[in-house]
Amino acid sequence: MKNRTIKVDYLARVEGEGGLLIKVKGNQVSEVKLRIFEPPRFFEAFLRGRHFSEAPDITARICGICPVAYQMSACHAMEDAFGTKLPPPIRALRRLLYCGEWIESHALHIYLLHAPDFLGYEDAIRMAKDHPNEVKRGLRLKKSGNAIVNLLGGREIHPINVRIGGFYKIPPKSDFLPLAEELKWARDASLETVQWVATLPIPDFERDYEFVSLRHPDEYPFNEGRIVSSAGLDIAVREYEQHFAEEHVGHSNALHSAMKERNSYFVGPLARYSLNYDRLPSHVQEAARAAGLGKTCGNPFQGIIVRAVETLYACDEALRIIDHFEMPDRPYVDVEPRVGNGFGCTEAPRGSLYHRYRIDERGLITDAKIVPPTSQNLKTIESDLLHLVPKNLEMQKDRLQWRCEAAVRNYDPCISCATHFLRLTIDRE
């Protein structure tokens, strides 16, 4: 078997700029590099010296796809530092806002970024010529998520209504009712989505990952919980850095995260689902089982099904929250800033998003650390390719390259977040 190189200069259908280089010698993969071209992160430096109250809006600018996640992790970290407790109605509305972001992000990934991989189209536009109804369903589903973020976040992109302690303004219940009507459509559409993605030809590929996600005593996790893993880790959010570390790697502008004693791990929908299946309502579990999923899922190509299941859950949960809506006495609780460290971790659509801040006596940020989900998955993406390529060496080069690109897109990587920016190279010399 000759040596081969698979090289993709510019990875399509991922958020941000990066590339992939895979070198094959005989039947062995000698090198896998997910190359990140974007300049390194600057937001952490940018936060130093800023007032604590600015963190949600500044960090929301890191990503146009998951601003809510950044706002939520920032708020929870600050509230942790100041000992702020949120009343249940505000907490419920935060979950509602997060439902909106999951729906819009998952619908975009399922229909426009990942489905073309399984159906054999170069992009969603070519797919839309043959499957216009599915694409239109995906676009409207995404719009339902946008509508939540728009109403509660103040606007769709970079919502501005979130503050430490709650919201600046909470719309009256009457404003939520038209939203509920659209979400009833979205719930039906997301069930159809689960059924549709279950029919896609999904490659067989199973690995024994260490899954990591939040786990809450009785909820599928968005904002709160302990950080748990499938290998038995069970820690408070503030213990994160004792167990996880980021490292520089030569070929990437993004830092790679690893568990200190056990190396790569997996965050995101598969991890959340596999660790929290018992927290899903029974009808969502039934939809997952009918789509061919077990209680855990170790095939990253089935991520598209898990995302659809989570979209169904998010629509369902959003409707439940609206149904039980209670207007809080005030849209936010007052916070009393104090010197200290605050830790926050919430479940962004792509996985756990960790924030830590140090606040001084003037209420200014003196140190900030942000670990986005994509950096946590980079090592796992590379190791997936290391396992995937040797199993598929009989494939034509263009098909193998396609399969490798799809394997990267399994993670819906957000390079923009990971560096705060990807291009593929498979080398067969």
Rounded Cα–Cα distance for residues 33 and 253 (Å): 12
Q: Does residue 16 belong to the site contacting other proteins (CB under 8 A)?
A: yes
Residue pair 229/212 in contact by the 8 Å Cβ criterion: yes
Rounded Cα–Cα distance for residues 315 and 181 (Å): 11
φ and ψ at 31, to 5 degrees? -160, 135
C-alpha 180: how far from chain center: 24
Nearer to other proteins, 60 or 212 (CB): 60
Residue pair 43/62 in contact by the 8 Å Cβ criterion: yes
Contacts of other proteins in 141-170 (CB under 8 A) = 142-143, 146, 156-158
Contacts of other proteins in 266-295 (CB under 8 A) = none
Which among 61-69, 214-222, 239-247, 248-256 is the span making contact with other proteins, rule CB under 8 A? 61-69
Q: Does residue 180 belong to the site contacting other proteins (CB under 8 A)?
A: no
Q: Which member of 26, 88, 132, 340 binds other proteins (CB under 8 A)?
A: 132
Q: Does residue 64 belong to the site contacting other proteins (CB under 8 A)?
A: yes
Nearer to other proteins, 416 or 425 (CB): 416
Cβ at position 288, least distance to other proteins in Å = 26
Cβ at position 61, least distance to other proteins in Å = 6
Which among 188-196, 278-286, 389-397, 412-420 is the span making contact with other proteins, rule CB under 8 A? 412-420
Q: Does residue 60 belong to the site contacting other proteins (CB under 8 A)?
A: no
Nearer to other proteins, 321 or 404 (CB): 404
Residue pair 317/99 in contact by the 8 Å Cβ criterion: yes
Q: Does residue 101 belong to the site contacting other proteins (CB under 8 A)?
A: no
User: In Å, how far are 210, 211, 222, 269, 410 from 297, measured between CA atoms?
Assistant: 12, 10, 19, 10, 13
Nearer to other proteins, 150 or 296 (CB): 150
| Torsion sign across C-alpha atoms 62, 66, 67, 68 | negative
φ and ψ at 245, to 5 degrees? -135, 150
- 5: which DSSP letter? E
Residue 241 CB-half CA count within 13 A: 15
Q: Does residue 125 belong to the site contacting other proteins (CB under 8 A)?
A: yes
Q: What angle do CA 297, 299, 303 make, to 5 degrees?
A: 80
Question: Where are the extended beta strands (E) located within 216-299?
Answer: 226-229, 234-235, 244-247, 256-259
Cβ at position 130, least distance to other proteins in Å = 10
Residue pair 266/244 in contact by the 8 Å Cβ criterion: no
Q: Does residue 14 belong to the site contacting other proteins (CB under 8 A)?
A: yes
Q: Which member of 4, 6, 8, 15 binds other proteins (CB under 8 A)?
A: 15
Q: Does residue 420 belong to the site contacting other proteins (CB under 8 A)?
A: yes
User: In Å, how far are 104, 145, 232, 246 from 15, measured between CA atoms?
Assistant: 14, 19, 32, 21
Q: Does residue 123 belong to the site contacting other proteins (CB under 8 A)?
A: yes
Cβ at position 40, least distance to other proteins in Å = 9
CA nearest neighbour of 363 among 44, 42, 55, 45: 55
Cβ at position 134, least distance to other proteins in Å = 11
Q: Which member of 3, 9, 39, 248 binds other proteins (CB under 8 A)?
A: 39
Contacts with other proteins by CB under 8 A lie at 12-17, 39, 42, 61, 64-65, 108, 112-113, 123-125, 128-129, 132, 135-136, 139, 142-143, 146, 156-158, 415-416, 420-421
